[in-house]
């Protein structure tokens, strides 16, 4: 196996190419582990750069009484639908954003077959009608059904696994590509840092005195889109809808005032917190966020620790963790993860930065 190609000297951190690394394809996890909390955990001290190798369930040893653990409770929907036009032509519809009841912005394949006015039979319980064109080749679609739409999706839809998972989705993915605390449907990708937690581990953390609080961000397809601009400052960040309750804002602000740590579970929780932060104070509410966190840009105001998976080269998520922990520490940590054969991306292993 070739060593990771990560050259650190004289890096211009405004350049997308600075966030590239070589990853052997066999390290991209195609399946989850049978037991969530037995994934590996790479622990990074962001002040010293010290790296430790653990198992995820040992995260219990790194969290302490009074810490606030912030989780994203969004639920992944089975967003891929397959149907036929009245001509018999097979088509695919991928749900993106719910605009109002019955009406969604969607991606479609093949686009030439799905012009405004076209109708698609997905099943006896669900039909689709193309209303208009959306942005970047999407379609605005009205769905016709009786009952609860999300319940119908559970039987008619397929899990939208990320493009680097090359196998077909199975019914089991509807469970494994979902956090144990998922509650609010609306995401087309999982907040993957949370996939490592079990109900028992969360119970153990609460008994230790760790406070677990919730935010909600609907993860969109933009999370997988690479930065195509040579200069990261020219990148147009995707928008995602997020919510922080008054209770969560109060818990976080009180902890900050008392000097207790805020540990974010995932980049989605982090982006949500930072998008509601002003001079370190978190407000409550709901809005769309296109916050882009990268070295040399906006400072991270809220979190003191971050639990995250390993991210794609040249991605906005890798830029976010580099902002929090320091670029050199993160790139050295990634090199160590590759050398030690960690599993990467959504179904892969995890990192704790404290």
Q: Are residues 329 and 246 in the same domain?
A: yes
Among 100, 11, 57, which residue's Cα sits nearest to residue 307? 57
CATH number, domain containing residue 144: 2.40.10.240
Higher pLDDT, 6 or 193: 193
d(CA 294, CA 138): 28
CATH assignment at residue 268: 3.40.1780.10
Q: Please, are residues 164 and 28 in contact by the beta-carbon 8 Å criterion?
A: yes
347 and 260 belong to one structural domain: yes
Residues written for the chain: 354
Flag whether 328 is in a domain: yes
Regarding whether 84 and 59 lie in a shared domain, the answer is no
State whether 24 and 137 are in the same domain.
Answer: no
Same domain (yes/no): 312, 192? yes
Q: What's the number of domains the chain is made of?
A: 2
Asked whether residue 83 carries a pLDDT value surpassing 80, the answer given is yes
**Which of the listed residues 125, 156, 187 is the one where a domain comes to its end?**
156
pLDDT classification of 224: cutoffs 50, 70, 90: confident
The model's pLDDT over 88-99, given as tens digits with 9 standing for 90+, comes to 999 999 999 888
Give, in order, the Cα–Cα distances in Å from 153 to each of 183, 222, 329: 15, 22, 42
Give the domain extent around 119.
Answer: 80-156
Please tell me whether residues 95 and 36 are part of one structural domain. Answer: no
* Residue 339 is assigned to a structural domain of this protein: yes
- Spatial contact of 167 and 127, defined as CB atoms under 8 Å apart: no
Residues 252 and 317 in one domain: yes
DSSP-assigned states of every residue in 159-215: ----TT--SPP-TTHHHHTS-TT--EEEESS--GGGGG--HHHHHHHHHHT-EEEEE
Domain boundary among 108, 123, 156: 156
204 and 320 assigned to the same domain? yes
Q: What is the pLDDT of residue 10?
A: 62
Helices (H) and strands (E) in the chain, counts: 7, 19
How much of the chain, in percent, has pLDDT values that exceed 70? Answer: 97
Is residue 346 pLDDT above 90, yes or no? yes
Query: Tens digits of per-residue pLDDT, 124-160?
Result: 999 999 999 998 889 999 999 999 999 999 999 999 9
Asked if the structure places residue 101 within a domain, the reply is yes
In a domain, 204, yes or no: yes
Q: Is residue 195 domain-shared with residue 303, that is, in the same domain?
A: yes
Residue 51 resides in a domain: yes
Whether the model clears a pTM of 0.85, i.e. scores above it, the answer is yes
- From CA 202, how far away is CA 22, in angstroms rounded? 34
Give the pLDDT confidence score for residue 75 in this predicted structure. Answer: 96
Shared domain check, 229 and 99: no
- The pair of three-digit structure tokens given for residue 330, joined into one six-digit string: 């993160």
Q: 241: pLDDT confidence band, cut at 50, 70 and 90?
A: very high
187 and 89 part of one domain: no
Asked if residue 267 and residue 349 are part of one domain, the reply reads: yes
- Mean pLDDT, the chain, whole residue set: 94
- Is residue 169 in some structural domain? no
Which of 156, 185, 214 is the last residue in one of the domains?
Answer: 156
In a domain, 266, yes or no: yes
Domain-embedded: residue 315: yes
CA distance 207 to 210: 7
């Amino acid at each position: 196996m070739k060593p990771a190609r990560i050259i650190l000297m004289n890096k211009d951190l405004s350049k997308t190419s600075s966030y590239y690394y070589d990853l052997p394809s066999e390290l991209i996890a195609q399946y989850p582990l049978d037991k969530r909390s037995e994934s590996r955990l790479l622990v990074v001290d962001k002040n010293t750069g010290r790296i430790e190798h653990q198992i995820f369930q040992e995260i219990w040893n790194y969290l302490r009484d009074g810490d606030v653990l912030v989780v994203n409770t969004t639920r992944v929907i089975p967003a891929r639908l397959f149907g036929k036009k009245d001509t018999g032509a097979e088509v695919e519809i991928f749900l993106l954003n719910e605009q109002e009841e019955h009406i969604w912005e969607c991606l479609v394949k093949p686009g030439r077959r799905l012009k405004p006015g076209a109708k698609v039979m997905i099943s006896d319980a669900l039909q689709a009608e193309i209303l208009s064109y959306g942005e970047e080749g999407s379609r605005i679609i009205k769905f016709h059904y009786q009952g609860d739409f999300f319940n119908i999706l559970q039987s008619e839809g397929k899990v939208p696994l990320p493009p680097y998972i090359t196998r077909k989705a199975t019914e089991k993915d509807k469970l494994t590509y979902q956090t144990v605390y998922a509650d609010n449907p609306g995401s087309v990708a999982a907040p993957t840092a949370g996939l490592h937690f079990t109900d028992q581990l969360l119970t153990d953390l609460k008994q230790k005195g760790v406070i677990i609080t919730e935010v909600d961000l609907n993860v969109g397809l933009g999370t997988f889109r690479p930065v195509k601009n040579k200069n990261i400052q020219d990148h147009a960040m995707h928008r995602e809808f997020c919510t922080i309750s008054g209770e969560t804002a109060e818990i976080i602000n009180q902890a900050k005032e008392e000097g207790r740590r805020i540990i974010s579970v995932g980049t989605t929780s982090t982006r949500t917190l930072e998008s509601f932060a002003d001079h370190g104070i978190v407000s409550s509410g709901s809005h769309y966020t296109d916050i882009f966190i990268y070295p040399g840009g906006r400072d991270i105001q809220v979190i003191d620790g971050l639990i995250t998976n390993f991210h794609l080269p040249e991605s906005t998520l890798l830029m976010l963790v580099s902002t929090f922990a320091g670029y050199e520490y993160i790139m050295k940590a990634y090199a160590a993860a590759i050398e030690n054969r960690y599993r990467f991306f959504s179904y892969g292993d995890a990192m704790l930065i404290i």
